[in-house]
Amino acid sequence: MPRLLLVGAAMTLLLVGCAPQIAVEDWTLEPIAFETGLREHPGVPPQRDSGIGERVDHAFGMSWLAADDAGGFWAFSSGAWLHVGADGETLARFNVDHEDPLAGVAPMAALSGSEFVALRGGSGGPALTVLDTATMTMRDVPVNETSDIDPDGFGFGDFAFADIAAHEGAAIVVRYQPRPPEYLDWEVIRIDLADGERKTLYSRSLTVSDAEAASPGLPPIDIDVDEAGRIYLATPSARIVLNPDGTERSADPQTAEFPRVAVRPDGVALWWGGETEPGSAHGVVVGGSAEARAAIGRREACDDLYVLRSREGLRMTVGDTEHPLPFLCGANSAVWTGSSWVVATGGEGDGVLVRLTPPADLDQ
């Protein structure tokens, strides 16, 4: 019987108030509650019906997460923004219209507690911007025309960006480039935020058959960076780790439609991609509403095509060792926040933010 306490008699015990038994080797999965009431925030339009709402842990799904470098995180999706602090308090909650420049910001990575580097879309094409979340003001990073921008001379410029990370004040960006007459290349580029100077660190090709479920969007590529500057890339065909200079440390094959990666500062990484595999790790849900626990439970087996948009299995890597984690398949986004990962799952009416805490003896 799975240790994920969400079904049958275990759920009944939880509902009547009995606390689950947690062993030292267990992972804990805690639904994160937040206040739904909209709040006024500097730099955003006045909020309709501000201050009205309740505290919930089961609502709409968030598409993107970004750690705030202070133990909390920002979550945002389709113009809805939420900031949760390190102690679980709701620090900000507001909406912006689709025409607002903030609606085109996604994803982003922290430079400090309130300053983020972000990718921004718009009619003028993709741009790299620095966002101050205290005032919600942005300044675009200049495009350095003398940098290594288009070495093959196809003239596409910044065709599209996939994802972004930050390390030591610079942006680490994944950029797509059309490759006539084939399909696409993707590149990892380090960009100086002061003058826009760029350096291409790594490149690889995509095929038409990569991540067909993501269509009409481009095949997703997720990126994260650890404290030492190592770069982690989840792609439709591989889990890749690069040294800070872009040389390849490892590349393990996978087949994934919606790959994701979230890394701890010491390099312990969570990867979503491919089939769910059995493993010895145990997950225990602590707290939360019945609806939130049920939503988490649906992401244990990862076998319901009609409920789950993404069925990517979860695994952890510690150095060269890989461990399947039989819970929380199909993440929308995930980040490390200082003592735990936060994972966004689900969609409309099925969305849960989950605090995923590893066992204390994870490295032992």
Count of domains observed in the chain: 1
What is residue 37's predicted lDDT score, i.e. its pLDDT? 93
Mean pLDDT of 166-193: 94
68 within a domain of the structure (yes/no): yes
DSSP reduced 3-state for 102: helix
pLDDT of residue 179: 87
| Rounded distance between C-alpha atoms, residue 297 and residue 6, angstroms | 6
Query: In this structure, what token pair is assigned to residue 81?
Result: 């923004």
pLDDT at 2 over 80: no
Does residue 2 form part of some domain? Answer: no
The C-alpha atoms of residue 153 and residue 13 are separated, in whole angstroms, by 64
**pLDDT on residue 6:** 37
Arithmetic mean of pLDDT, 273-280? 84
The confidence score (pLDDT) of residue 223 equals: 98
Indicate whether 12 belongs to any domain. Answer: yes
In a domain, 362, yes or no: no
- Averaged pLDDT for residues 14-27: 71
pLDDT at 19: 67
d(CA 241, CA 320): 11
The answer to whether residue 42 is domain-embedded is: yes
- For 278, counting Cβ atoms within 10 Å of its Cβ (0-12 exposed, 13-18 middle, 19+ buried), the class is exposed
Look over the chain and give the mean of its residue pLDDT values, rounded to a whole number.
88
Confidence (pLDDT) at 58: 93
Q: What is the mean pLDDT of residues 304-333?
A: 86
What are 242-269's pLDDT values in tens digits? 999 999 999 999 999 999 999 999 999 9
- Say which residues have a Cβ less than 8 Å from residue 297's Cβ, sequence separation at least 6: 4, 6, 7, 285
Domain that holds residue 344: 8-357
**What is the value of pTM for the model shown?**
0.91
- The predicted pLDDT at position 154 comes to 55
Which whole number is the average pLDDT over 192-220?
Answer: 93
Q: How many CB atoms lie within 10 A of CB 290?
A: 12
- The answer as to whether 363 is a domain residue is no
Are 144 and 197 spatial neighbours (Cβ–Cβ below 8 Å)?
yes
Answer whether residue 103 is part of any domain: yes
- Look up the CATH number of the domain holding residue 97: 2.120.10.30
- pLDDT at residue 153 tops 60: no
Q: What is the pLDDT of residue 48?
A: 83
pLDDT at 359 over 60: yes
pLDDT at 147: 54
What is the DSSP track for 286-321? -S--HHHHHHHHHHHH---TTT-S----EEEEETTE
